[in-house]
Structure 1
Amino acid sequence: MTQIPTFTLARTGDQIPALAMGSGTKHRIKKKAETDNPKETATEELTQLLTDAITYAGFTHLDTAETYTTEVEVGEAIKRSKVDRSKVWITSKYDSGWRVEYPASTPSGPYEALTKSLKKMDLEYLDLYLIHSPFFHPDISYITVEEAWRQMEKLVEDGKTKNIGVSNFNTEMLEKILKVAKIKPQVDQIEFHLYLQNQSPGVVQFCQKNDILVEAYSPLTPILPHRITNGGPVDELVEKLIKKYGVTKNQLILRWVYQSGVLPVTTSSNKDRLKEALGMFDFTIDKEDFTELTELGATFHYRGFFNKYFEEGKI
């Protein structure tokens, strides 16, 4: 089984596995359509997939969130896998809301939210807890981002999570937290791929300068035909490079993310595809090929999430 390398988190020195299995959008949508009470009810299909991700594919990092409604499956998968809790890194996220129709699930803030999530997952602690979105407004989040961060720090102090961070934050929102933080954010999870190398201006460089690890959701976007419907500028080069390195498209694209110093969060409904993904650690993209991929990718722009908010300058 492939040995998964790690990134080191600057504040704690904790070793975070460099590839995560996500249980987000596609799993949330399917679960919502099939389950009457998705937040409290574990589906057998997803529970088994997450179990297979651990025991068959070899994943050691599972990513979930309050808004995904998949925390309960993550907890069940840990039990079913019979793997020692300390051997699997668990990340979840506080649902801070993102528009009036979708306010924060837990109005009092992240402290109560994680307390409920831990009970739901039957876990004593998380390895990493993130604020899911930066859209803090009285009618959506009910508290300020500064108050939310104070609660996040209290979660660390009380042993409910080992590390804290954010998701979808731009430099302005990160600076707000850094000004008041006793415990600095360890991670910013953003949409990141060849066609979106900065979710917001300069955010990757800002994070790297401030010892904040960048995680990438939707890293495979450039090779997904339902998103890039008419093809993109890296297509021809990708075909050439998968032959050169003897790898799959998924492995090549995930490897590019990893070699960018970014932790990819990937997903699939197929346990063999999940196992295949770990092959990204079995080769290295040459410097010249990496540069060509990066430069070609930068000539095309595609954003899959929060388009309206970026266009209006709200993120």
Structure 2
Amino acid sequence: MPALGLGVFQTPPDETRDAVTAALDAGYRHIDTAAAYGNEREVGEAIAASDVHRADVFIETKVWINDFGYAETLHAFEKSAGKLGVDQLDLLILHQALPGDFERTLEAYRALETLLADGKVRAIGVSNFMVEHLTALLDRATVVPALNQLEIHPYFQQNAAADFGAERGILPQAWSPIGGITFYRDSGHVNALEDPTIGAVAEKHGKSPAQVMLRWGLQHGRSVIPKSTKPHRIAENLDVFDFELSAEDLAALDGLETGKRGGPEPDAVTLETFSREIPEA
């Protein structure tokens, strides 16, 4: 899996096709989507229309909580694969834990294990799983998740969940890696792109604040999936492999932790509050 990919969370379907096309043209080979984003079809269309061979593009998508359960999750694969226009997914993960119905979560993961054994997916994983969720899952799972996709950026680093997983071979993957910009108003974060500490490091290296945050995530051993719909930003976000942050730089960004989550609290995720029916392919 390429360490850096394009995320398409909250990208409208009519903009997704162009964003993915721009990413592939810029050199991206990893696209992250989800059934709940409502844009899997457009991701698939852009990949199919590209000159890049399908085998060279790593496609990652997620099963939403409405489709948890063994049979339901097997069918969720069919829905996602159908929309994406592929027979095999490179990575399929559970989008959230359902803490109030964790047995259903475990059955969904068991379905992922079946899909893996059947060769319909190349790897499986989870997203937004805290230490207690990973512990309960590992007690029952036969396959260790390949990764755990988490909200990770300098303002909210989730080291407990990331480190717990990494110690067990679960790669931390950062969603919203550019400062949690999706959730400023709800979380109380300032705009990380205007943060003076990040800006000083960026100026030192002749890079943008976004590039510095992505490099910070990569040097901490994480995968990062920044989102953008602007071709020049998409290209800029990929241009992070020609410089290295010093230990001092890393420590400065590490020191920005606020403890404030931008996304929903994991224990607040229920079918009552976050239900979203996923259409057929």
**Which interval holds the TM-score relative to the shorter structure?**
0.7 to 0.9
Asked whether the equivalents of residues 184 and 191 of structure 2 are also in contact (C-alpha less than 8 Å), the reply is no
Q: Give the drift of 1:242.
A: 1.5
My pick for the range that moved more, 238-247 or 63-72, is 238-247
Write the distance in 1 (CA, Å) between the matches of 2:224 and 2:166. Answer: 16
Say how many residue pairs are matched. Answer: 265
Instruction: Give the secondary-structure state (helix, strand or coil) at the position aligned to 2:75.
Output: helix
Instruction: Give the secondary-structure state (helix, strand or coil) at the position aligned to 1:17.
Output: coil
Q: Is 1:52 equivalent to 2:12 in the alignment? A: no
Write the distance in 1 (CA, Å) between the matches of 2:52 and 2:43. Answer: 13
Identity rate, percent: 33
Instruction: Give the secondary-structure state (helix, strand or coil) at the position aligned to 1:190.
Output: strand
Asked whether the equivalents of residues 193 and 222 of structure 1 are also in contact (C-alpha less than 8 Å), the reply is yes
Q: Is 1:197 equivalent to 2:170 in the alignment? A: no
Task: Find the counterpart in structure 1 of residue 214 from structure 2.
Answer: 254
- Superposed, which structure 2 residues align to 1:78-89 within 5 Å? 78-89=47-58
The TM-score, its normalising length taken from structure 2, stands at: 0.87
Write the distance in 1 (CA, Å) between the matches of 2:198 and 2:191. Answer: 12
Asked whether the equivalents of residues 129 and 161 of structure 1 are also in contact (C-alpha less than 8 Å), the reply is yes
Task: Find the counterpart in structure 2 of residue 275 from structure 1.
Answer: 235
Per-residue CA distance 1:23-76 (angstroms, 9 max, x = gap): 11x21xx44xxxxxxxxxxx3x32122111102x21110001111111101110
**TM-aligned CA distance change 1:223 to 1:70, over 3 Å:** closer
Asked whether the equivalents of residues 183 and 262 of structure 2 are also in contact (C-alpha less than 8 Å), the reply is no
**TM-aligned CA distance change 1:156 to 1:223, over 3 Å:** closer
Write the distance in 2 (CA, Å) between the matches of 1:305 and 1:225. Answer: 7
- Superposed, which structure 2 residues align to 1:154-193 within 5 Å? 154-193=114-153
Task: Find the counterpart in structure 1 of residue 106 from structure 2.
Answer: 146
Write the distance in 2 (CA, Å) between the matches of 1:178 and 1:221. Answer: 30
Asked whether the equivalents of residues 180 and 262 of structure 2 are also in contact (C-alpha less than 8 Å), the reply is no
Write the distance in 2 (CA, Å) between the matches of 1:80 and 1:49. Answer: 13
Task: Find the counterpart in structure 2 of residue 209 from structure 1.
Answer: 167
Write the distance in 2 (CA, Å) between the matches of 1:264 and 1:180. Answer: 28
Equivalent position to 2:79, from 101, 116, 131: 116
Q: Give the drift of 1:106.
A: 6.7
Write the distance in 2 (CA, Å) between the matches of 1:223 and 1:190. Answer: 14
Q: Give the drift of 1:82.
A: 2.6
Write the distance in 2 (CA, Å) between the matches of 1:121 and 1:225. Answer: 28
Q: Is 1:67 equivalent to 2:40 in the alignment? A: no
Write the distance in 1 (CA, Å) between the matches of 2:139 and 2:195. Answer: 43
Q: Give the drift of 1:231.
A: 5.9
Write the distance in 2 (CA, Å) between the matches of 1:106 and 1:183. Answer: 18
Unaligned runs of 5+ in 1: 1-15, 32-42, 97-103
Write the distance in 2 (CA, Å) between the matches of 1:266 and 1:188. Answer: 16
Asked whether the equivalents of residues 179 and 191 of structure 2 are also in contact (C-alpha less than 8 Å), the reply is no
Write the distance in 2 (CA, Å) between the matches of 1:146 and 1:253. Answer: 34
Task: Find the counterpart in structure 2 of residue 239 from structure 1.
Answer: 199
Equivalent position to 1:125, from 88, 107, 127: 88
Task: Find the counterpart in structure 2 of residue 17 from structure 1.
Answer: 2
Write the distance in 2 (CA, Å) between the matches of 1:241 and 1:264. Answer: 19
Q: Structure 1: which 4+ aligned runs deviate by more than 4 Å?
A: 222-232
Write the distance in 2 (CA, Å) between the matches of 1:150 and 1:308. Answer: 21
Per-residue CA distance 1:177-213 (angstroms, 9 max, x = gap): 2112221111000101111111xx7211101110100
- Give the number of the structure whose residues are more often helix, by fraction: 2
Q: Give the drift of 1:283.
A: 0.5
Asked whether the equivalents of residues 146 and 170 of structure 2 are also in contact (C-alpha less than 8 Å), the reply is yes
Q: Give the drift of 1:157.
A: 1.2
**Superposition CA RMSD, Å:** 2.3
**TM-aligned CA distance change 1:182 to 1:223, over 3 Å:** closer
Instruction: Give the secondary-structure state (helix, strand or coil) at the position aligned to 2:119.
Output: coil
**TM-aligned CA distance change 1:116 to 1:106, over 3 Å:** farther
Write the distance in 2 (CA, Å) between the matches of 1:252 and 1:21. Answer: 17
Q: Give the drift of 1:235.
A: 2.1
Q: Give the drift of 1:109.
A: 2.4
